[in-house]
Every structure is written in structure tokens, then in C-alpha cells.
Structure 1
Amino acid sequence: MRALLWLAWASLRRRAGSFAGSFLVLFFGATMVMSFASMLDTSRGTGVDATSVETLTTMGGVVGGWGMCLVVFAVVSTLGLSVRQRAAETALLKSAGATPAQITRMIVGEAALVSVAAAVLAVGPSYLLGRALLGLLTDTGQVGAGTAFAFGTIALLVGFGITVLSAVIGALWTARHATGRSVAASLADADPGRMTWKRLVPAGVLLTGGLYLGVLTVTAFRDKGTDAMPIAAQASILTSMGLAILAPGLVRAATALTGRVLRGRGVSGYLTVQHLRQRTSQAAGALMPIIVFTGIGTGVLYLQLIEDRAVAASGQLRSVEHQSIQTLNLVVIGMIVVFACIMLINTLVASTTYRRGEFGRLRLAGATPRQVLGMVRTESLLIVATGTVLGTLAGSVTVLPYSVVRADRWIPDLPLWILLGIITIAVTATLGAALGTARRMLRTPAVDSVAL
């Protein structure tokens, strides 16, 4: 065991750049989880009134709980990409006599070391973000002005526990897949991303749960007013995560639907189809955060807009409860925007950097840098188009039912600019990260790229 931990530490030192992506996701995830968990520490302070306790508990429990789900989801997918990119290294270790159990322990050891480092460095930013969050709640009158901020046991235990546990689970999940492949398949560096029960079962549970909550909103909660908000909001979250888990199958479906059109675009289109078919899992890694970002973003933003219009139409002044709900939703949106964009950019930079050798081989085979960039651009546009369409569908599981509850109509009269703004952010982040990294990779001579 000691030897494997030493090997994990040596691997981290030699390949620090390849672990940077996983570290960033773990760091920002730990920061988000600990900052919200600090609201639970604050609620246990002396002299905190009952209303403030309820608000702080809701902020720390509900929003922080969904934040934990997003962190676990992001860490598992990011570590999965990192392990898949080391398929050749894994194959060589197996050829040298390492057993699957030994390789798994090495990968888990690496993930544990990175997660502990990320959690330790996240303590300071978490403290500052937690204070800022309490200040926001105090300024809006949802928490008493004299409430003292506390950052203690709950924040640290939850932050370190979720960060390390999600990293270990993600490493175990992907290591089993990597060690289960044959040496020849690993060295071929091709991963078509087959859909197995390990994806289909959790995806089916999440999608069923999301649709159930959408139906529940228009049935049991139709006359409940604002009480239907948390039920409706959770519908898009579950549906988005369910569709994201199915990302490999969705990439293959999108490739099959557009394959003929893409081939008609010349060399770039042909290369795009071949890449998406042979390395489906890499493309799926970029598709997942786009679905989550678009689905939850549209669902919660339009949900809040429907509620604001319902309150305005009733002629009532905005209550403290309404203001509290609005703050919660805006914080959720901010959390999702930042974290999903980090996850998306991080995934694209890591996956595109890994393709340095592929770009070199294509150029040695006769492809020009312009054609290689055209391939990356076409892939990115296909992925972001697929992700935003599916994300919009996931968001509708929240928007349509809640529109019935508060506006008594299935098709809400809502501005399109919110959806266009979300799509613009997704497109900009996707193309910026993928093309920017590809241009940097193409500056290296083709021969040197293949040799690296």
C-alpha cells in the first residue's frame, strides 16, 4: 500500500498539469459546499432569532444540498475524463504485471491526495464567500442584522467529506472501467462510450424523478401557490442530470443524425464524424456541463420570472418570503453559472490538450491547421447545439408546470432573451475554450506533437 501511495505521489509530481483540471473542479466545488455549509454553523450561534435560523438552515440545507449534488456530479465526470486519458499508461502498467486492484488503488490514491489539497486551499475562499453570503441575506432583511458569522465544524466536515468522498467515488467508478479494458483496446486510444446499466439505471431514476415532480407540480401542488416552487425547481435539476448521464448515447445519436450533412462539409466534416464515433466519451464530457447549465439555468430563471409576474399581477407588495425565495433562486443561478462554466471550460481545455498527438498525426497525414481548426469548430458547434436543445427541454419540465400553477396557462408569455443569453454563454465558453486550446496546440510542430 505504501508503495502504491508513493507511486501516486510520484505520478502527481510528474504529471501535475494533467491533474490541474481535476484540482480546479475539486477546489471550486469545496469552496461552494463549505460556504453554504457555514450558514448551518451560523444558524447555531447564540442570539439568532427563529426567522433567521429558518432562512440560514434553508440556505445551507436546500441550496447547499443541491450544490453537493452538482459537485459530486462534476467531480465524477472530470475524474472520469482524466482516467480515460491515461488509458495507454494503464495498459503499460498491466503489461508490466500490475493487477487491476493495484492500478485502482493508485488512481484512488492520486484522487484522494488531490482532493485533500483542494479542500485545504478552499478553506480561506470559503470563509470569505460565506461572509459575503450572510451579508447578502442581512442586507435583504432575511437575517437579523446582529447575526454573527460562524465558520466551524459543520462547514469543514461537510466540505472535506464531500470533496474527498466524491473524488474517491469518481476515481473508483472510472478506474474499474479503465482496468476492465484489454491492453490492446487501451493502446488503441478509442472509446466509443457504450451505454451500460451503470449509466442507464441512474439516468432512468433521475429522469423519472424529474418528470414525476413536474407532474406533481400541476396536480397535487396546483393550488398551493409558492409552495410549488421548490417542487418545480427540482424537476429541471433532476432531468438535467439524468440527460447528462446519457451524454455518450446522445453524442452518438447527434452524430448519426448529422453525419451525412457533416461529411458534405469536406475534410473538416469528415474528421468530425470520425472523431465523434471513435472518441465518444471525450465529446460526452463537454456535453454534460452544457446540458446541466442550460437546463437548470432556464428552469430556475424562468421559474422566478413567472413568480415575479404572478406577484405583480396580484397587486401585492413583495413579502419577505418572496424576497427570500428570489434571493435563493438567484444564488442558485449564480452558483450554477460559475460552476458549470468552470466545469465546461476545464473539460474542453483538458480534452483538447490531450489531442495534441492526434492533431500532429492529422497534419503529418496532410491536413492543414485550418482544417484541424475547422474540425474542432464543427465538433464544438454540434455539441453545444445538442446540449442547449436538451437543456431547454429539461428546463421546460420546470417552466411549463409552474406556468400552469401561477399563470394558468401551459405556454408562458416569457421573454426569449433569457434563453438566448444562456445559449450565448454556452456557445462562447465552448468555442472559446476549444478553439483557443487547439490554436495553442497547433503552434507546436507536427513532428514534436506526435513525439510528446
Structure 2
Amino acid sequence: MSLGQMRRRPASFAGLAIALFLAVATVTLFGLLFAAGATAPAAAREATAGPGLMVIAGAFGEIAVLVAFFVVVNALASALRQQHRELALLRTIAATPRQARRLVRGQVLALTLLVAVPGWVVGAAGARGFLAELQRRGMAAPGVRVPGTPLPMVVALAVALAVALAASAVAARRISRIAPTAALTASATEHGRTGAPRLLAGIGALAGGGLLLRLAATRPTAQLDKAGQAALFGALLLLVALALVGPLAARVLAAALGTPARVLAPGAGWLADANLRGYARRLSSAVVPVALLVGLSGTMVIMTRTAEHAASASPTGVTTAGFVTSASDVWLRQIELALLVCFAAVSTVNTLVAVTADRRREFALLRLVGATRSQLMRMLTAEAVLTTAVGVLLGAAVAGAASAAFSTAVTGSAVPSVPMAVWWIVAGAAALTVPGILATGLRAVHGPAAELVGGGRD
């Protein structure tokens, strides 16, 4: 049954497959780099300046695993959302919660094994290229080589499976817990309030993020690297909290931004505002990946610019702890930023396409009551702009909090140095969000409306 669902709607699992592929490839890459550092002669390890291969691989790898888990959970939730009706029907014909969860785990396992070999190949090639660049920059000894051991690849597969199975347990929890008679109704309606366990988990993540940011802000100038890592992990925890309590935050911001939309576009803006506020959980699913993209990218860019500014202002011309002391350090930050952006972009596109495509029946019903395709596209345009604005504001709040904590540790001031690159991040988020929603919506509004409302087509 798991494979049958995947064959029936392969596009629904494309985003999840890409997220798992990236997880396998990145863990393989940094696992091989770690193995290269561990197997290198002691003289080669001591002959190079900088943090060393094992430190670089460990720092990059832990961030990659955390972000991969975040993205895989989101991608799997999108895939489940598109097959919610089928899972609900299975529950009504006596499928048990355990069988529903087993079906989801089977899909995740099959996809992980499917992308394992391509992920290994790309990860190994990336490890060799990354090591060559580190050697060119003097951050690794010339004689160090990527080992031929398969252990890092096995570890990468194990990590990807662990992340995917944990994500399946989180994503499949709701459909497996509700009563069979309520499952089918729930597949066609907006969910209720945020449950107490989820709300408590969100509050806990928010508190944990706040503690990490406080830790970052109080680091001495000799530990700016630790301040940077604490600020980045704090931003991740705040984004996790946002994902958990997102419907509430999204509803508040949508209500604030909806009034200008109603004034500027009385028809489409009113309907877009009503949709976003009435379906806060759907809005949260759409804005959290945008916030992830803006929050992580903005945090990295602002922290790097703040450290560079502090270095140029200091008498010695460098920061005391070496957060950014050379072009090689800046390059490492750029690589880390590119990795985070890649994961976040995949999550953004996949979620927005899935959420919009899942509204075919809604669009068909609007057409049956007299709405034209052009009116629906104007409504979607207004929704896309509002979704982008909400996601950017939430991500900017996370980036602002994290970079303020880091700036306090670096300069003693909570006001960081903000580069012009942040506007490119906002433009990139808009370029992913608005065209993605409109392109999927254009496809979703076509087709026979009566047949789509009746459930004859997907």
C-alpha cells in the first residue's frame, strides 16, 4: 500500500525525496571530511592553521542534521496532507492507528533507500571538492585524502533513517490518533485549536531559544565562536517554536496585514484576508518555511557583517576570537549559509506547492458559485503577497533577536550591523513564494469544476 500511494501521486513525494536526498548527501559529505581528518597523520593535522577538518565537519554536520530534521518533518507533513483523504478513508474501513503509522513509515523507508545511492555519490563528490578547496586555502594539509571507508555512508543512511522515522512519528500523529469517524471530516476542514502538548512544546522551545540567545549575549570576547554557535542554535529553536505555535502568530500578523490588503484590493484582498485568517494552520504551514529561509539566512549574514565591522573597528584589525579573521573564515560562513539556504529553499517551494495544490476543490467550489479564473488568480496573488509578508516578518524577528544577542557579545551593543544583502534575502524569499503559489494555483484552477468538487479528480 505504501508503494501504491507513491506510484499514484509521485509529485506529492518529490519534496520529501529531495529533502531526504539532501540529508544523505550532506551527512555523507561531512562524515567523509571528519573521517579524512581523523585518519590524517598527526603531523598533517598540526601543520595547518584554523579549526581543522574534524571541527569543521562536526560544526557543519550538527547544523545540517538539525535543519534536515526540520525540513523533513515539514516535507513529510506536506506529503501526508495531500493523501489525508486516503488515510482518512482507511481509518473509516477499520485500519488501526498502528497500521496508519506503519503505512507512513513504509513510505519514508522506501524513499530513504531510493535516494541513498544518489546521496552517497553526490556527498562523496562534494567531500572531495570541499577538501580540495580547503587545501587550496591552507586549511587542510596537501597530503590529506578522503578515505575509501564506507562507514560515513552507512552513518549517513542511519542518520537519514532516524530523522525520517522521527519525522514520520511527528507528522502521522494526528491522523492516527483521531477517531475513524472524525478522520474523514478532518481531512476536508481546518483543524481546531492548537493542542496543549503542542503549545507546551512551543513554549519550551521558545524558552530554550531565549536561554541560548542570553548565553550568546553574555559570552566574553574570547569566545565569539561559541557566541555565534549559540546564537545560531537559538535561532533554530525559535523557528521550531514558531512551527509549533505558528497558527497563533500567523493569525495575528495576517489580521494586522489584512486591513491594507482589503483597502488596496477590495474584492480579492477581502477574500484573501478571510482565507488566511480562517485557515490559520494552513497559513502557518506556508509561512514557516519562508520564516526558516529568512531567519537562518538573515542571522548568518548579519552576524558575519557584525563581526567584520567589529574587526575593522578594532586596533588590531581582527576580532579577538577569530569568528571572522580572514577570507577563509568568511568563505566557511558563506558555505554554511549556502547549505542552510538550500535546505530552506527546498522546504519553502515544496510546502507552498503542496498547500496550494491541495486547494483544488476549494477553487472549484468558488468557480461553481460564479468566480472566474482571473478573479481566483487575483485572490491568490493577494494571498501570496500576504503570505510572503507574514513569513518575512516572522523570520526577520528571529534573525533580529539572534543577531542582537551576537552583537551584544561582539560590540557590547544590541544593534548589529545590517548589510544590504538582507534585502536580497527578502527578494529571494518573495521570488520563491509568489511565483510558486501562482504557478501552482494556475494549474489548480483549471479542469472541470463539478468533477473536482465531487472528488473525481486530484
TM-score, length of structure 2 as denominator length: 0.89
Which residue does 1:252 correspond to in 2? 251
Q: Answer yes or no: is 1:211 the counterpart of 2:210.
A: yes
CA contact (8 A) 1:244 1:291 kept: no
Q: Which residue of 1 aligns with 2:234?
A: 235
SS in 1 for 2:172: helix
2:416 is the alignment partner of 1:405: no
Moved more, 200-209 or 353-362: 200-209
Q: Distance in 1 between matches of 2:392 and 2:374?
A: 27
Q: How many residues align?
A: 445
1:26 matched to 2:24? The reply is: no
Shift of 1:261: 4.9
How far the C-alpha of 1:232 sits from its partner, in A, is 3.1
Q: Is the 8 A contact 1:78 1:285 kept in 2?
A: no
How far apart are 1:399 and its partner, in Å? 1.8
Q: Which moved more, 1:345-354 or 1:153-162?
A: 153-162
Q: 1:348 — aligned with what?
A: 352
**1:110 aligns to what?**
107
Task: State the match for 1:3 in structure 2.
Answer: none
Quote the Cα distance in structure 2 between the aligned partners of 1:239 and 1:15: 34
Matched position secondary structure for 2:39: coil
> 1:114-140 CA deviation, whole Å, 9 max, x = no partner?
122122321111111122221222222
1:194 corresponds to 2:193: yes
Deviations 1:59-95 (A, max 9, x none): 2211110110011111112111221332221221122
**CA deviations over 1:89-109 (Å, ceiling 9, x no partner):** 122112222222212211211
**Match of 1:403, SS?**
helix
C-alpha separation in 1, matches of 2:233 and 2:5: 40
Cα displacement (A) at 1:331: 1.6
Distance 2:451 2:125 in 1: 45
CA contact (8 A) 1:345 1:433 kept: yes
CA RMSD after TM alignment: 2.6
Displacement of 1:445 in angstroms is 4.0
Shift of residue 315 of structure 1? 4.8
> Residue by residue, what CA displacement relative to the aligned partner does 1:337-391 show, whole Å, maximum 9, x if unpaired?
1111111011111222222222222112211112211222222222221121121
Secondary structure of 1:113's aligned partner: helix
| Aligned match of 1:439 | 442
The residue number in structure 1 matching 2:310 is 310
Q: Is the partner of 1:83 in helix, strand or coil?
A: helix
Asked whether the equivalents of residues 269 and 378 of structure 1 are also in contact (C-alpha less than 8 Å), the reply is yes
Secondary structure at the counterpart of residue 352 of structure 2: helix
How many Å separate the matches in 2 of 1:370 and 1:248?
29
Task: Name the CA distance, whole Å, in 1 between partners of 2:40 and 2:197.
Answer: 47
Change (3 A) 1:398 1:280: closer
Give the 3-state SS of the residue equivalent to 1:137 in structure 2: helix
Deviations 1:190-218 (A, max 9, x none): 12363223433333333222222222233
Contact preservation (8 Å) 2:301, 2:422: no
Change (3 A) 1:203 1:56: farther
DSSP-derived class of the 1:44 partner: helix
Residue pairs, 1:316-335, within 5 angstroms: 316=316, 322-323=325-326, 325-335=329-339
Structure 2 Cα separation of the partners of residues 223 and 44 of structure 1: 27
| Aligned twin of 1:300 | 300
- 1:101 aligned to 2:98? yes
| Structure 2: distance between partners of 1:284 and 1:412 | 29
Other-structure match for 2:383: 379
- 2:88 maps to 1:91: yes
2:289 aligned partner? 289
Shift of 1:259: 4.7
Whether 1:8 aligns to 2:2 is: yes
Q: Contact (CA 8 Å) 1:241, 1:292: kept in 2 or not? A: no
Q: Is the 8 A contact 1:236 1:396 kept in 2?
A: no
The whole-number CA distance in structure 1 between the counterparts of 2:448 and 2:429 is: 31
User: 1:66 maps to what in 2?
Assistant: 63
Q: Deviations over 1:399-424 (max 9, x none)?
A: 22332333333323433x22211111
Determine the structure 2 residue equivalent to 1:422: 425
Match of 2:372 among 368, 373, 381: 368
Partner of 2:137: 140
Partners of 1:266 and 1:65 lie apart in 2 by 48
Q: CA deviation at 1:431?
A: 0.4
Structure 1 residue 184, shift from structure 2 partner: 4.3
Q: 1:231 corresponds to which letter in structure 2?
A: A
Structure 1 length-normalised TM:
0.90
List runs of 5+ in structure 2 lacking aligned partners: none
Any idea what the Cα deviations from partners look like across 1:204-250, whole Å, max 9, x if unmatched?
Answer: 33322222222223334256455533333333232233223322222
Residue 286 of structure 1 aligns with an amino acid whose one-letter code is: A
In 2, distance between residues paired with 1:197 and 1:150? 49
String of CA shifts for 1:305-333, please: whole Å, max 9, x gaps. Answer: 12122222235466995335433321211
Q: Is the 8 A contact 1:349 1:433 kept in 2?
A: yes
Describe the shift of the 1:310–1:200 C-alpha distance in structure 2 as closer, same or farther (beyond 3 A).
same
Q: How far apart, in 1, do the equivalents of 2:201 and 2:12 lie?
A: 29
CA separation in 1, counterparts of 2:344 and 2:173? Answer: 26
Q: Does 1:176 align with 2:208?
A: no
Q: 1:128 aligns with which of 125, 145, 149?
A: 125
Q: 1:118 to 1:202 in 2, by over 3 A?
A: farther
